[in-house]
Structure 1
């Protein structure tokens, strides 16, 4: 059973530290594949902390690990990086930068 949530992306300290070790490092990969959702959303997916999930938007899919965080129910946070990029479209509305916030996302446990 899946959930429909709203995806927002952004920077994290772990993502930045991993990037300095190299984008091929395990630290970077772990940091950018870590999604955060409200505890009640994690429970609704029947996932334990760090459980694997498939994220799907109209632009693509990504497999990430999910953790509970102090977020509003219905919101999913994912650090910027290759996993987030797979979910974000390329339309820029003339700004030169795609939208990294407010993207509808389907979340299914793996």
Structure 2
């Protein structure tokens, strides 16, 4: 064993804001269980500084974990020009819903716009398959 095998992978905490995506909507209409829908839905867009801190490149997989669930998705670099370190974006999808709290505060509406998670590299792991 080499020394690097004892080092813990970097992890960061981020807040996820979910959004709707017209291209994802088109993909789900064409094939809800298809590759294009998964490729447009099982992603997280991170600030370039966050990607660097995680030692992750665009297209690598990352683990998102909180007290409600754990998933593996692909990391992408956010296209926003303004830095938003610690804030990430995900399309509304079955993957992001795994991380949503079941607590609604009496409103009956889950909090899809502010999801706190820990992100770590998932090098070599595949995107989480959904048991649909």
Question: Gaps spanning 5+ residues in structure 1: where?
Answer: none
TM-score normalised to the size of structure 2? Answer: 0.79
Q: What is the count of residue pairs matched by the alignment?
A: 110
How much does 1:80 deviate?
A: 0.9
Cα shift readout 1:9-60 (whole Å, capped 9, x = no counterpart): 1211222111111211111111110110101111111111111000001110
Tell which deviates more after alignment, 58-67 or 68-77. Answer: 68-77
Q: Is 2:120 aligned against 1:108?
A: yes
Q: Distance in 2 between matches of 1:30 and 1:100?
A: 20
More strand by share: 1
The runs of 4+ residues in structure 1 deviating greater than 4 Å are none
- Please give the root-mean-square deviation of Cα atoms over the aligned residues, in Å: 1.2
Higher alpha-carbon Rg: 2
2:93 to 49, 58, 81: 81
C-alpha distance in 1, partners of 2:106/2:31? 31
Q: TM-score scaled by structure 1?
A: 0.93
Gaps of 5+ in 2: 1-9, 123-132
